[in-house]
Each structure stands twice: as C-alpha cells, then as structure tokens.
C-alpha cells in the first residue's frame, strides 16, 4: 500500500514537472513589430529618406565588420564588430514584476540587451530603466557559463562582464545575466541578456535596447530552442504592425511556398546568407558573372537577408548591370534622387497611371524571388519621382526589407533553409 502511494505521488510529481516545463518553454510565440518611424507623423518621402539614410549607415557597418573579420582572419583575432540598429521595434517586458519596454529587432547580431540601473552612461529612452534589484528573477551569470564564453569580448570579476560593439561609436557594456522575458502574455524564464550600464549610440535611441535574432548562441531564437521563426513585414506606408512568429506558429500557411538553402559563412556565423545566382530585369536574364555574388574564402562577398536594412545593396558590378537594364527599359528621363537618398530615379510624366515598370526577379538556388513593383520602386508624388530601392555596394550584398514587404519569410534553422510566400501581412 505504501509502495502504491509512493508511486502515485511520484507520477503526480512527474506530471507537475512536465506541465511546468511546457509552461516555461512554449511551443510557439507571436509578437508584433513596429517600424521605428511609425509614430513619427512623417510623409512617405520622409519615411523613405530616413530609411535610406539608416540603411546606408547600417550597410557601412556590416561591410566594416566583414572587412575587419577578413583582415583579422590571418592573425586569428576575433572581430568584436556587430550589426546593430534596425528598422523594427519589438514590444516585450523584463523581470518579475515585469517592466515593459521596446527593443530594436536585429537579425544581424545575437545579444539581447537593455539599459539597466544604476547607469554610468545611458541614452534617453521612453520607458523607465530596468532595475535588477527590483526583480525577483534576476540572476547574474558566472564567467564559466557557456554563454559568457560565447561573447566576443568579456572579462571576469565576480560576474561575467561584457563589451559588445557595433562597428562605430555604438556599444553596450555591462553584466551578462538571466531574466524572465515576457512576450505578449507568455513568460519565458532564464533567458540570458546584457544588463547594460554604459551604452552609447545614436541608432539605439528608438528603443530601450536590442534583441538579436542572429544564428549565434546568445540570440533569442537560439536560446528559445524553437528551431525556426518567421516574420511578415507590412508595407512602408502602413501604420499596422508586422507579425513575428517563433516555433510551432512560424510555419507558412500558403500553398505556393518557395524554399532555398541557407548558407553559412564561418567568418560571419551570425548572418543569414543566401546563394544569389543571377538577376532578371523585365524578362531578360542579366549576364552577371557567377562570381559577382559568391561568398569568398576570406568571408567577404555573398548576400545576406537582413530585416534591419531597408534598401537592397548589390555588389557594384552586378548593380551596374541592373541599373543599365532599368534605364534602357523604363524609357523615362533619369532624374536626380540624391535628396531622397537613392541612386536611380526617373521623372514621371503628368499621367503616371500608364507607366509600366520592368519586372525584377532575384534568381536563387532552387527558387526565384519574383517581386511586385511596390517592393522595389517607390513613387514620390510631391517631386514626381519614381525611384529604385536598390543601390550598389562593395564587399557584400544585402537583401533589404523594402523587398521583403508582404512576404512571409520563414527561417528554418533546424533544416538550414529559408522559405517565402506572398501574403498580405496585415491579415495574418
């Protein structure tokens, strides 16, 4: 009889543990993303100008990281330069009791961090600073933890202290700790984050920190262990939020889904690389050399997909051919787009309803990304300009978020593939 009681209690205890574990580690999450300028009362052309300016700055930083890593590879020095900044904010909360805040979403870096009291140097943020002493679930991480060892720069006193830099004067510095983060109504305990008491950088001021969604062990997707995430970005001129899904909720429901392999770059393990084979403009396959967008042995080159860059940047040799094809096929006068921050613009006729835009298709391994015109051409009615949201670069190429609008994009990390399908994102 005693044995039966013991077994019964043991079974109940196991069931309780399973229930607690499933509650602590949800199978799926949904959160909402907001464009950083969504509440700024900007005109469409101002939105484009601001996004183009940030894109150029971010592209420069991404390329600086790539070039530095290539230069350091011969001496085996690990580059501390990361992506930083972004175009979308995620609403979440931290601690127990929970403190809501907004953080920049960044698929180009890994660390999750927010500003913490007592601050040595902090930028102004819209929400109160997180006070670790007021949370019952805050714990500092020891220097022996795997995640402390995953930091590019760390030091050890009584706790794991970090410095995470972003390629210019932007940086966060503080203590690596663990906390309960809340996404919507779902609480996830024991997530590692940077509790930053010394933080610098103009690009961070839209939020109160940053959530890295890269491929490294410190990123949110890696720590959740859900294996996949997807997002669907609403149009630039829409005020509606964009959904971000994790785990079981991330799958694409559309039947017409395209899938391409994700490529790894050992020199840049956090970035999501795709193998761009060619480009088609207006039905004509451009004669771009196969090496133009290829990933090089030193870690340079290649193309990444990035949520934090708005404009698409193509290696200059390939971009020049794209530009030439659009000029020859548009049959409109070329205009100066420098005020908008874009390279190729055209003057629209008085009756712009009859203007036809050549198709733009990116040819990847095993699938083509056939873009609607709104995903690569923008109209500024105030100046009568029609501009291409693609520009040239040197050292790497970036598929930006203008081109990702109204596509659900699934990052399947378990199977190393990326899938996409056209969907009205505001209806998901």
Q: List the catalytic residues.
A: 106, 306
- In angstroms, the Cα distances linking 182 to 29, 140, 208 are 10, 19, 15
- In angstroms, the Cα distances linking 388 to 45, 270, 328, 344, 371 are 13, 29, 14, 6, 13
Nearest to 388 by CA among 330, 349, 331: 330
- Distance CA(342)–CA(45), nearest Å, equals 11
Ramachandran assignment for 134, one of left (phi > 0), alpha (psi -120 to 50 degrees), beta (any other) = alpha
- Distance CA(260)–CA(247), nearest Å, equals 19
Nearest to 241 by CA among 28, 44, 47, 426: 426
Nearest to 282 by CA among 191, 230, 358: 358
Q: Is 321 helix (H, G, I), strand (E, B) or coil?
A: helix
Q: Is 424 helix (H, G, I), strand (E, B) or coil?
A: coil
């Amino acid at each position: 009889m005693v044995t039966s009681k013991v077994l019964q209690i043991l079974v109940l205890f196991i069931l309780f543990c399973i229930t607690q574990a499933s509650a602590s580690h949800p199978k799926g999450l949904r959160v909402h993303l907001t464009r950083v300028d969504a509440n700024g009362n900007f005109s469409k052309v101002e939105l484009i100008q601001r996004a183009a300016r940030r894109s150029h700055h971010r592209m420069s930083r991404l390329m600086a990281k790539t070039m530095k890593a290539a230069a350091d590879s011969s001496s085996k020095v690990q580059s501390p330069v990361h992506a930083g900044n972004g175009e979308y904010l995620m609403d979440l909360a931290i601690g127990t009791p929970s403190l809501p805040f907004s953080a920049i979403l960044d698929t180009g870096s890994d660390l999750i961090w927010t500003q913490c009291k007592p601050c040595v140097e902090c930028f102004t943020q819209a929400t109160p600073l997180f006070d670790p002493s007021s949370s019952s679930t805050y714990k500092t991480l020891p220097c022996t933890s795997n995640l402390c060892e995953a930091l590019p720069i760390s030091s050890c006193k009584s706790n794991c202290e970090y410095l995470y830099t972003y390629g210019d004067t932007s940086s966060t510095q503080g203590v690596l700790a663990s906390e309960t983060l809340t996404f919507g109504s779902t609480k996830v305990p024991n997530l590692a984050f940077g509790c930053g008491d010394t933080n610098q950088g103009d690009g961070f001021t839209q939020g109160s920190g940053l959530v890295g969604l890269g491929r490294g062990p410190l990123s949110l997707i890696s720590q959740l262990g859900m294996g996949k995430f997807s997002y669907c970005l609403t149009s630039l001129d829409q005020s509606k939020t964009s959904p971000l899904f994790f785990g079981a909720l991330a799958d694409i429901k559309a039947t017409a889904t395209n899938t391409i392999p994700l490529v790894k770059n050992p020199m840049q393990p956090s970035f999501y690389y795709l193998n761009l084979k060619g480009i088609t403009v207006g039905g004509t396959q451009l004669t771009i050399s196969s090496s133009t967008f290829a990933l090089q042995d030193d870690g340079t080159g290649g193309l990444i997909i990035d949520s934090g860059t708005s404009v698409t940047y193509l290696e200059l040799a390939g971009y020049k051919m794209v530009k030439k094809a659009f000029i020859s096929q548009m049959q409109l006068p070329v205009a100066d787009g420098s005020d908008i921050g874009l390279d190729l613009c055209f003057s629209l006729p008085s009756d712009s309803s009859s203007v036809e835009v050549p198709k733009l298709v990116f040819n990847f391994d095993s699938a083509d990304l056939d873009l609607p015109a709104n995903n690569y051409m923008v109209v500024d009615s105030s100046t009568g300009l029609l501009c291409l949201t693609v520009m040239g670069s040197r050292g790497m190429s970036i598929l930006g978020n203008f081109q990702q609008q109204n596509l659900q994009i699934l990052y399947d990390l378990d199977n190393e593939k990326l899938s996409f399908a056209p969907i009205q994102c505001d209806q998901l």
